[in-house]
Amino acid sequence: MQDTEIKLENPLEQRLGYQMRRASGLMMVNLAERLAGIALRPTEAAILVLLRANPGITQTKIGGALAIQRANMVPLIAGLMTRKLIARQAADGRSHALSLTPTGRTLAVKAEALMLEHEKYFFGELSGAEREHLLQQLRGVRAVPSD
């Protein structure tokens, strides 16, 4: 019976934080589906893209840029190494300079293209100025003091 169907009153729909969480979750699922086509998860794709823009950086620096803890970088880097998408070279005795293999570079380029398609899919209606304004508002959230 669809008879006594109640249209739910949801005060959370008025909350910017809640809307951001829902919107972000939806976008992540959609991005994950797109990236699955090239066998990458969003975080793996982010690492490749970051590495293409910054050849030779260490895994700790990648973690710093992506807000991933050192400990959690280990299996991520190991997986990309196993798949021969990235390579290591000793920088000093304790750190390694990471770089993309040719295969990894190709995937990084594809991943970046998919990310742009993804953004266009969700925000294609926005003008350049509107897009930049939204970007600035989101960066503003991250600029707020942490305590």
Q: Name the site residues for DNA (rule: CB under 7 A).
A: 1, 25, 29, 41-43, 58-60, 68-74, 77-78, 92-96
Residue 125 to residue 64: CA distance in whole angstroms: 33
Alpha-helical runs (H) found in 67-125: 70-82, 102-123
SS (H, E, C) 129-146: HHHHHHHHHHHHHHHCCC
Q: Which does 78 bind (CB under 5 to 8 A by kind): its own copies, DNA, none?
A: DNA
Residue 67 to residue 105: CA distance in whole angstroms: 22
Please state the separation of Cα 129 from the chain's center in Å: 23
Q: Least separation, in Å, of the C-beta of 107 and DNA?
A: 16
Residue 112 to residue 31: CA distance in whole angstroms: 11
Q: Least separation, in Å, of the C-beta of 15 and its own copies?
A: 6
Question: Considering beta carbons, is residue 6 or 71 the nearer one to its own copies?
Answer: 6
In this structure, are residues 58 and 92 in contact, taking their beta carbons and an 8 Å threshold? no
Question: Considering beta carbons, is residue 25 or 55 the nearer one to DNA?
Answer: 25
Question: Considering beta carbons, is residue 82 or 128 the nearer one to its own copies?
Answer: 128
**Contacts to its own copies by CB under 8 A:** 6, 8-28, 30-31, 46, 49-50, 53-54, 57, 61, 64-67, 112, 115, 118-119, 121-123, 125-126, 131, 134-135, 137-142, 144, 146
Q: Least separation, in Å, of the C-beta of 22 and its own copies?
A: 6
Q: Which does 103 bind (CB under 5 to 8 A by kind): its own copies, DNA, none?
A: none
In this structure, are residues 31 and 118 in contact, taking their beta carbons and an 8 Å threshold? yes
